[in-house]
Each structure stands twice: as C-alpha cells, then as structure tokens.
C-alpha cells in the first residue's frame, strides 16, 4: 500500500507541476486543484498524467467562462422560489441528493446558458454541503412535467455531459422519474454514446403509490407477495380423471393400447381415485404407472406384473406381446446418461435461481431516495445550506420577524 500511495502522490504532483508550467494558477484555482480533485481526473483518464493535465486545464477554462466564482442565489430568485432545482437533503452515507423539477416551458423562455448556470450553481451548492469523506452526489430528474420525449432528452443529455466532463467521479447515481412514453425508445438508441449511462436509471412513481408513509420502508410490500402462493390452493390426493366445464381428460385402463387417453363430454368432477370401471389391477392404485402415458413404453412395461393379457381385437392393432415364461427374464431398460461437463458445457454458466430482474433492481435502488422526491420543498431550508458567496445578499429571516417588521412599518 505504501508503494501505491507513493505512486499516486507522484502522479498528482506531476499533474500540478505541468499545470503550473502552462499557466500560473490563481488562488481559487489552487484551491480547486487539490489532491482529491486531481485524483478524480487521473482516475477518469486511466492514470494518464498527460490526459489528466489536458482535461483539468479544459475544466479550469470552462469554469472561468461560466463565471462560477460569481454565481450567487440572487441570480436565480425565481427558480429558488418555485423549487426548480435544489438540494433535497443527504442520504444515509451523507451524499447530497439533488432534485430537478424543470418544466418543459422553461427552455422556451430561458436560454441554454441560463440553464447551464442554474445547473452548475446547484452542483456547487451540493459540493459545498459535502463532508470531508464524501465526494459523490445523487441526481433526481422529475420528468413528469415534460410531454415531449425529445425535449427532455436534450435537457438530460446536456446535464449528464456537464457532470461527466467537468465533474468526473462525482456522480453516484442518476434517476429519471416518470419520463414521457417515447423516452425509453430514444434512450435505448442514445445510451451507448452517453458516458454516464451506466449510472442512469429510469423509474416510475406509480410503483411506489402503495407506500403512504415515505419515512418508513420496513413494511413496504415487495413484488414477491404478488407471486403464486401454493398454500392458498388446497391439495387433493386424487389421481384419476381431470374434469373441466367443457371436456374431461381420462387415462385409459388398457395399457397395451396405442391411445392411452380419451376425451369425453361427461362431468367427472366427483370421480373417485383411479379407474372407475373394473380393472385387472383391482382397486384403485396411486402410482406413476397409471398416471402417465404409455405411448412410448415397451410391451413389458405396459403389462402389469402378476397378470397376462392376451391379444385383444380392437380397431387399432396393438403390439403383440411375448408369451409369459416361468423364468422371469430381466430386461435392462435404457437409462438416460448423466450429464457431464463435456456433454453440457452450459452448466458452467448456470445462473442462480434467485436472479432479480433489472426493473426490480432499479426499483429497489430508488427506495432510499423516495423520501427526497416526496418531501415538500422549503426555500428557507435550501438557502440555509448555501455557503458564501453562493447564498447571495438575501439573508434568511424567520416568518415571525417578517410579520413583525410589516406590522411596525404599517404604523408609519
């Protein structure tokens, strides 16, 4: 571990040295290019120092063009009042959860640059609320306000591109909630070309309507409760005819017949166990011999032990049976060979029976973040999470003090 840490530190120093050679770094840029930041860029570029330097320099230039150092909450007062984009809280591992509830008409009345600044402002607020040992965040995109799948796709791809290029290693998971109907088809075609597609999951809020209290998931009904429960149906220890409303299926008593079954229109719902008519077998027997078909059985297997049935005239001639001798001749029945590795190589790739579908995995992964999606938005709580200078000039004043101030002002 010591050698690995030494190599990592050497790569980080090499990246910082090459950055300083290209152009001197400002105080804020030096603060941004700390060890954790450089390690994330190195990991994104496969520990290549040259590629990491190029990527980091492009990121610094982009941050200067956006003017991240001058972003304040006063610029987005309307968005903060409506709760268009905000930090909803932190999960169990102290990762900030960002929620975007952007309407489809937002991009008609606002430029792409303003949307980019709003996205970056929200990301910077989330990063400012991270503890020291946390480096990732979670994104929730509420697509229920979009009617056009292509419009939401453009907004989502723009957001994921900014996060992937200028915030590498920051995204933990991204959830798309209630997308338009055609979005899944568009996403299948675009997904191979999106860098953060593996961390993006589509979910539906309709799957979670049964849980009324979103703070407690201990009694949340799982999908397994909807599966078939064999205990709900009483088992009947009967082997014989099977009846239905239209026809019945009955096993024939003649074991040497080529048709060991026949159909009848009679109701045999109250049939007894085994054959109802006299049979050479005597009383009704429950065994695998009288419950299966003998179409492909050998003549010896079709003849019950202890009795000899001679040739019988019928419409369909049966296979002639050999004469019974006093000495019992044991006929070796062919056995199905045991499957080996060479005969069935697919057994090597056998999956476990407890395989969970992709939809079930997506559903389970969204459960810890459902409370943030349903939690009502509070502007004052969100503003309290902003560190200066992101908080802007608007101070947080309690509603009680505001009402008192208005009452005093009305006196004059």
Q: Report the interhelical angle of 35-44 vs 49-66 (nearest 10°).
A: 120
pLDDT at 340: 52
pLDDT in tens, 356-373: 677 788 889 999 999 999
Going by the DSSP 8-state scheme, the letter that residue 385 receives in this structure is T
Architecture of the structural domain at 70-219+367-398: 3-Layer(aba) Sandwich (3.40)
Span 294-349, pLDDT tens digits:
445 555 555 555 444 455 555 555 555 555 555 555 555 555 555 554 554 544 55
Residue ranges, the chain, pLDDT below 70: 1, 210-356, 392-412
The domain ranges of the chain are 2-66, 70-219+367-398, 240-273
Nearest CA among 204, 152, 253 for reference residue 363:
204
> In this structure, are residues 80 and 394 in contact, taking their beta carbons and an 8 Å threshold?
no
Q: Residue 264: CB partners within 8 Å, gap ≥ 6?
A: 247, 248, 250
pLDDT of residue 222: 36
Alpha carbon separation from 399 to 177, 302, 404 (Å, rounded): 33, 91, 9
User: What backbone phi and psi angles, to 5 degrees, belong to 348?
Assistant: -70, -25
Q: What is the pLDDT of residue 324?
A: 58
Dist CA 29 CA 106 (whole Å): 33
Q: Is the pTM of this model over 0.85?
A: no
* Segment holding 410, helix H or strand E: helix 399-411
Tell me, what's the pLDDT at 5?
Answer: 82
187, 181, 179, 240: which is closest to 205 by C-alpha?
179
pLDDT of residue 357: 75
Query: What is the bridge-based pairing of β-strands 248-251 and 242-243?
Result: antiparallel
Helices and strands, counts by H and E, the chain: 14, 8
Say how many C-beta atoms besides its own lie within 10 A of residue 143's C-beta: 23
Backbone angles phi, psi at 20, to 5 degrees: -70, -30
Structural Rg of the chain based on CA atoms: 37
**Per-residue confidence (pLDDT) for residue 162, from 0 to 100:** 96
The reported pLDDT for the residue numbered 330 is: 55
Q: Which pLDDT does position 62 carry in this prediction?
A: 96
d(CA 80, CA 86): 7
88: nearest Cα among 133, 47, 137 = 137
Could you give the CA distance from residue 289 to residue 245 in angstroms, rounded to a whole number?
27
The residues pairing with 138 across neighbouring beta strands, listed in sequence order, are: 97, 173
pLDDT at 134: 94
Q: What is the pLDDT of residue 8?
A: 86
- For 149-166, write each residue's pLDDT tens digit: 999 999 999 999 999 999
Which residues are bridge partners to 175 per DSSP?
Answer: 140, 201
Residue 359, Cβ density class (10 Å: 0-12 exposed, 13-18 middle, ≥19 buried): middle
Report residue 75 CA to chain centroid gap.
37
Contacts of the segment 132-137: beta carbons below 8 A, 24+ positions apart:
133/94, 134/93, 134/94, 134/95, 135/36, 135/40, 135/169, 135/170, 136/95, 136/169, 136/170, 136/171, 136/172, 137/95, 137/96, 137/97, 137/98, 137/170, 137/171, 137/172
**pLDDT at 318 (0 to 100):** 52
């Amino acid at each position: 571990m010591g050698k690995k840490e030494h190599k990592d530190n050497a790569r980080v120093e090499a990246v910082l040295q090459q950055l300083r050679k290209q152009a001197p770094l400002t105080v804020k840029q030096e603060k941004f290019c700390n060890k954790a930041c450089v390690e994330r860029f190195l990991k994104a570029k496969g520990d290549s120092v040259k590629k990491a330097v190029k990527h980091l320099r492009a990121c610094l230039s982009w941050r200067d063009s956006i003017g991240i150092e001058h972003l304040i909450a006063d610029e987005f007062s309307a968005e903060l009042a409506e709760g268009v984009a905000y930090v909803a809280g932190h999960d169990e591992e102290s990762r900030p959860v960002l929620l975007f509830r952007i309407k489809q008409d937002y991009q008609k009345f606002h430029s792409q640059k303003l949307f980019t600044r709003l996205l970056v402002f929200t990301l910077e607020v989330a990063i400012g609320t991270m503890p020291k040992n946390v480096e990732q965040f979670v994104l929730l995109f509420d697509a229920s306000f979009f009617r056009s799948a292509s419009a939401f796709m453009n907004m989502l791809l723009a957001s994921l591109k900014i996060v992937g290029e200028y915030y590498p290693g920051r995204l933990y998971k991204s959830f798309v909630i209630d997308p338009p109907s055609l979005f899944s088809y568009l996403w299948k075609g675009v997904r191979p070309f999106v860098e953060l597609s593996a961390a993006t999951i589509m979910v539906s809020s309709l799957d979670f309507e049964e849980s009324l209290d979103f703070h407690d998931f201990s009694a949340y009904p799982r999908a397994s409760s909807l599966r078939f429960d064999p205990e709900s149906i009483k088992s009947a220890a009967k082997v014989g005819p099977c009846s239905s409303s239209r026809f019945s299926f009955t096993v024939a008593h003649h074991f040497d017949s080529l048709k060991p079954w026949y159909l009848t229109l009679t109701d045999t719902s109250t049939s007894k166990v085994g054959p109802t008519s006299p049979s050479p077998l005597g009383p009704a027997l429950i065994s695998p011999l009288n419950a299966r078909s003998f179409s492909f059985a050998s003549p010896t297997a079709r003849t019950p032990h202890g009795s000899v049935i001679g040739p019988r005239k019928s419409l369909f001639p049966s296979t002639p049976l050999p004469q019974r001798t006093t000495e019992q001749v044991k006929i070796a029945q062919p056995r199905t060979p045991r499957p080996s590795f060479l005969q069935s190589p697919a057994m090597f790739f056998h999956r476990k029976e407890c395989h969970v579908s992709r939809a079930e995995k997506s559903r389970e992964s969204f459960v810890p973040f459902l409370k943030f999606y349903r939690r009502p938005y509070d502007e004052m709580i969100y503003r309290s999470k902003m560190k200066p200078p992101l908080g802007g000039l608007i101070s947080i004043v309690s509603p009680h003090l505001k009402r008192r101030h208005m009452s005093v002002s009305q006196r004059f």
